[in-house]
A and B are shown apart, each in its own frame.
Chain A
Amino acid sequence: MSLLEKRIAKVTRRPKLLLGCLAVLLLALLGRVGDLTFDSDVNRVFLTNSPLSQAQRAFSERFRNTGSDVAFLIEADAGLSTEQIEAARDLALDLELHPRVTSVASPFSLRFPPDHPSMPEAPVIPVEIDMEVLWKRLAEFEALEIGFETGIRSDALILLATVDLGQGAGDTIAALDTLATPVREKGATVTITGPDVVESTIRAALARDLLMLNLIGIGLASLVAVFCLGSARLAVLAVLPALPGMVATVGLAAWLGFPITVLSNVIPMLMLVIGIANGMHLSVSLARTTGPLPSRIADTLTTVGPASLLTAITTAVAFIAILVSPNAQLREFGILGASAALVSIGLLLPSFLAVAVLLAPDPRPAGTAMSRIASRLGAWAASRAKSVGVAGLVIFLVAATGFWTTTAWFPYSSYLPAGSDLAPANDRIARDFGGVYRTWVEMPADATWEDLRAAVDAVEAVAGRQSVLSEVAFARWQGEVDSALSPDNLGRLPADLSARLRDPVDGTLRFAIAMPEPMQSDASLGRYDAIESAALAAGAAQVIGLPAVMRHGSVDLVRQLSTGLLIASAAGAAIVALASRRFSLLPLLLVVNLLPVLLIGALPHVNFDGRLTPPVALALTIAFGIAIDDTIHMLNRYLRAHERHGDRARALRTALEEAGGIMAMTTLLLTGGLIVTVFSIFAPVGHFGLALIASLWAALLTDLIVLPALLMIGGRHERAS
């Protein structure tokens, strides 16, 4: 009996003491869980250390106190009535009176120009609303081609407010929503939206989603474990040791000071399913081992334990690979995932030991049906090793080409929880009123009024005059377009707006374009690119604002994640080769584990117009980390069997019998646990989970078909001398 076995045997005499120690450790890890926060900051999603991100940070910081853009979309399917328009005007005035609102732009604040022959500075919408007169005056105002968006259509109108949302954004939004009650009482629908409202909505839904995902995940994974193992006791043995890892992950996030985000809320559940997969290997191995219980446990832990530890390391490496991204949110995801993988395995092995002493079943065959299927599949592939090997390589090359020709795509609105009114409202605003986001064009420091006019003209030609908010448009309204607005006239604009149009600190000239998020559709992306090109070609210094960051930051993100995937692949394969001291296995490991990832990475060509989103790219990196786990278990058993009797075919048979069935079961189990993501109210979480599931099944098939074939070709399994 080795020293380790002696120690294991000693611990098996006091399982409750061990469980008590683990409980204390877990409580310590949860010590700061009360500080856990939830975050959906759009800037943190997209910003990196690129020059554009730095410019955006500087712009946000410069105007940090000017408030948030909030839009009130008022719609009436049957067309707006006089009463509804009057109620909307009262709402606009109530907003003006709200202490947190600094300015309001609405159809009611439009006035005819001072030099209008019959109605100088008269409100375009008169106090007494007669629908015929109203539309006639609006048409007359639009005919002046000043460039102001009227903000009213036959069945919808929009009010734009600059609001200090403060710390409790949700409460402020709720208070503003109450002001809209009289409009709703007139039969119109009112939706409050805007960049910060979107953020607040996502944040409010995150906590709910985290709890739901974990609870349903535990339930589904447990059911699949019972189904696969055919024994409730074995299932408990597989599931129970994985729970501390999941719980500890939430505690770790609090200790690290990382907020839970749309991405990181899947990590606890991910740790659970990875833990149960390891628990499955351990419990099946224990069930198949004979002898006194302490020896069976020691044998199981010394046989499967090192492989489990190695799988945790490769999973951690996959998470660490994400740190190549300078994006703060992704880095936190990587750090939390890597530390959670290591802490989870640190809790899982002793937990398994303690639970095994209390619940271990008598020796019995387990997972034999799955093992038979896996063995037959592997044997079939091994019998035609070269054909399968060549086919695998061809598929690898095709998949790699497909993956690298995908297009980075990141629609932020897809992060809105399912059923939210904001997505259709944003679409409506994009279609009729330009959009809820503002791109800012910044002129060079020495730009003149003529330079500004030239840039505004160029952008208006592409974006349409009514989408562009500029000092030039106000000058047109004043009838003095040949010179900049006088300080008095500039002072007639809301202070938060005039400061951004003409910076009082350094005199920088800017103008804004209302638009939807660029990656809402191909058309919106094309429009954004055309606007940006026109502005830069006309002499603008830079184009900033959330749409610019969304446009370019998303591409950077996906590129960084792809780099992370490559690093994870190389590092993971190298670690496994190093652990087995067979560097000749490196190409085999890379092919076998990259093949499923690249296959799923190329899938967007089939169903998403070749668009690769960050959640899917992230899933591929994590999938590699998990997929290589199966390869480790398979190779571990193959190499041990080969060392025992030196026959490759026999060693492969043994490996397939011992590990193949469990690999199939763990894949089923992971599927059961991860399928919970489709219940997430966030579509990207569902995409993440489905991409992960698809990758894991592809990985299983690769491990059962391509790996056996490649192992039978040449002598890669031979230990390098």
Chain B
Amino acid sequence: MNARLSLAALLIGIATPALTDPLADMAGGWSGSGIARKSADAPEEAVRCRLDNTWETENSRLRIRGRCAVPGRSFEVHGALARRGDGRLRGFWSNPDGPGQTSISGRVEDQKVEFTFSAKDPATGEDVSQIVRWTLEGDVLRFVSWHRVEGVIMADITLER
């Protein structure tokens, strides 16, 4: 479940606009693989995702839909991200199989987008807050997230168009 939340945060990172507003470049189909872990002390698992993002020009919002799979199960990912007037990015993530909806906020530095989110695992109450960074280089997106307290890498996924 925590792994799902991590992934959710990563995927929302896709939607975070840079100063040049790269959100529009995030639209389209993406697929890729990497690793994720359920909790800070859990072993790594292979993960594979497929996304189909839609850019809504009229309200500068990116809709994110897709599925991710770890061995033995898969789950839907769904979210949206919009740019506010003060330039900060606000988004939400909804995962019916996971912790429900959670908010994120972030900023853009050069080619990197970083944001944080705070959340607790609804089943265990464990803090699953994370720091997420995404990097867009041509047709490659890389996501990395860290546990905010433990500092361990929670997920690392590379997607290609």
Name the A residues within 8 Å of B35 (CB-CB).
Answer: 127
**Beyond A89-B46, A93-B47, is A123–B71 a contact (Cβ under 8 Å)?**
yes
A119 and B43 CA atoms in complex are apart in Å by: 8
The reply to whether B46 and A93 form a contact with Cβ atoms under 8 Å apart is yes
CB-based contact B67/A127 at 8 Å? no
Q: Does A90 contact B (CB under 8 A)?
A: yes
B121 to chain A, nearest CB (A): 15
The answer to whether A93 and B45 touch across the interface, beta carbons within 8 angstroms, is: no
A654 → chain B, closest Cβ, in Å? 82
Please measure, in the bound complex, the distance between the C-alpha atom of A90 and the C-alpha atom of B46, giving whole angstroms: 9
- Interface membership of chain A positions 98-132, coded 1 if the CB is closer than 8 angstroms to chain B and 0 otherwise: 00000011101101000000010111001110000
Q: Which residues of A contact B45 (CB under 8 A)?
A: 123, 127
Q: Is B104 part of the binding interface, using a Cβ–Cβ cutoff of 8 Å?
A: no
Q: Is B78 an interface residue (CB 8 A)?
A: no
Contacts of B47 in A (CB 8 A): 93
Q: Is the CB of B72 within 8 A of A104?
A: yes
* Interchain CB contact under 8 A, B48 and A126: no
Q: List residues 41-77 of chain B with CB under 8 A from any CB of chain A.
A: 42-50, 67-74
Number of B interface residues in the complex (CB < 8 A): 19
With A106-B71, A108-B71, A109-B71 in contact, do A93 and B33 touch (Cβ < 8 Å)? yes
Give A105-163 interface residues, CB cut-off 8 Å to B: 105-106, 108-109, 111, 119, 121-123, 126-128
Are B43 and A109 within 8 A (Cβ)? no
B69 lies within 8 A of A108 (CB) = no
**A96's contact among B42, B43, B44, B69, by CB below 8 Å, is which?**
B69
Please report the C-alpha to C-alpha distance between residue A104 and residue B71 in the assembled complex, in whole angstroms.
8
Question: A94 in the interface, Cβ–Cβ < 8 Å?
Answer: yes
- Interchain CB contact (< 8 A) of B71 among A93, A119, A121, A128: A93
Pairwise interchain contact B43-A123, C-beta atoms closer than 8 A: yes
Residues of B with C-beta under 8 A to A89: 46, 71
Min CB distance B71 to A, Å, is: 4
A83 to B33, CA, bound (A): 15
How far is the CB of A100 from the nearest CB of chain B, in Å?
13
Q: Which of B46, B50, B69, B72 is close to A127, meaning CB atoms less than 8 Å apart?
A: B46
- B44–A97 CB distance below 8 A: no
CB of A92 closer than 8 Å to a CB of B: yes
What chain B residues lie within 8 Å of A104 (beta carbons)?
A: 71-72
- With a cutoff of 8 Å between Cβ atoms, the chain B residues found around residue A97 in the complex are 48-50, 67-69, 74
Q: Which of B130-146 contact A (CB under 8 A)?
A: none
The answer for the CA separation of A104 and B42 in the assembled complex, in Å, is: 22
User: What is the chain B residue whose CB lies nearest that of A99?
Assistant: B67
In contact, B70 and A127 (Cβ under 8 angstroms): no
State A111–B73 Cα separation when bound (angstroms). Answer: 13
Contact A96 B73 (CB under 8 A): yes
How many Å lie between the Cα of A104 and that of B72 in the bound state?
A: 6
The residues of A that contact B69 with a CB separation of less than 8 Å are 93-94, 96-97
Known interface pairs A96-B69, A96-B74, A109-B71. Does A122 touch B43 (Cβ–Cβ under 8 Å)? yes
Which chain A positions have C-beta within 8 A of B68? 97
Give the shortest distance, in Å, between B155 (CB) and chain A (any CB). Answer: 12
Instruction: Tell me the chain B residues, 94-150 only, with Cβ under 8 Å from chain A.
Output: none
Chain B residues within an 8 Å CB radius of A122: 42-43
- Are B72 and A126 closer than 8 Å at their CB atoms? no
A122 to B44, CA, bound (A): 8
User: Are B70 and A93 in contact, with the CB atoms below 8 A?
Assistant: yes
A94 touches B48 (CB 8 A): yes
Residues of B within 8 A of A94 (CB): 48, 69
* Most-contacted residue by chain B among A93, A104, A119, A122 (CB, 10 A): A93
Contacts of B49 in A (CB 8 A): 97
Whether B44 lies near A126 (C-beta < 8 A) is: yes
B73: which A residues are within 8 A, CB to CB? 96, 109
CA distance A106 to B69 in the complex (A): 13
Instruction: Give complex CA distance A118, B43 in Å.
Output: 11
Q: Which residue of chain A has the shortest Cβ distance to B45 in the bound complex?
A: A123
New contact pairs (10) apart from A90-B33, A93-B33, A106-B72, CB-CB < 8 Å: A93-B48, A93-B70, A94-B69, A96-B48, A96-B71, A97-B74, A109-B71, A111-B72, A123-B43, A127-B44
Residue pairs across A and B with Cβ atoms less than 8 A apart, 28 shown, are A89-B46, A90-B33, A90-B48, A93-B46, A93-B47, A93-B48, A93-B70, A93-B71, A96-B48, A96-B71, A96-B73, A96-B74, A97-B48, A97-B68, A97-B74, A104-B71, A105-B72, A106-B71, A108-B71, A109-B71, A109-B72, A121-B42, A122-B43, A126-B44, A127-B44, A127-B45, A127-B46, A128-B44
Residues of B near any A CB (own CB < 8 A): 33, 35, 42-50, 67-74
List 4 A-B pairs, minimum CB-CB distance, nearest first: A109-B72, A96-B69, A93-B48, A108-B71
